[in-house]
Amino acid sequence: MSSIILSTATRFLLPLLLLLSVYLLFRGHNEPGGGFVGGLVAASAFSLYMIAFNVEKARRILRIDPRSLMGAGLFLASVSAWISLLQGRPFMTGIWVEKVFPVIGKVGTPFLFDVGVYLVVIGVSLTILFTMAEE
């Protein structure tokens, strides 16, 4: 199925949806939202691209294997959880950097955990979708 309307709209929607997903990620470590919702929005952007074009083009525009995203996200989430133990605090205690960054705000281990969840959700969702579409 090749639709000129869908393919044209997808070219405009992909960057907007990815920008929205990053906004939800940055907003979520202080307010509702975060890695899970942002990851779902990013995965839906790539799945829309996959529907409009095909799986090969979607994989090419992603530029990284979704399974690698899963691994990186799990590693980052686990590192953020173990930082508190290394400082002698209870497991998964939030530790914050004193400096406040202009766009992101306060950065700490909850933000690292959210980024890890973001990458895992993108990786899992796209692995499932790409595998189903290739069959």
Q: Which domain holds residue 120?
A: 4-134
What dihedral do alpha carbons 63, 1, 8, 66 form, nearest 10°? -20
In the chain, the number of structural domains is 1
Closest to 126 measured CA to CA, from 43, 13, 25: 43
Residue by residue, pLDDT tens for the chain (135 residues) are 678 999 999 999 999 999 999 999 988 766 767 899 999 999 999 999 999 999 999 999 999 999 999 999 999 999 998 998 888 888 888 888 888 888 777 788 888 999 999 999 999 999 999 999 987
pTM of the model: 0.90
Measured CA to CA, the distance from residue 105 to residue 131 in angstroms comes to 37
* E strands in the chain: 96-101, 105-108
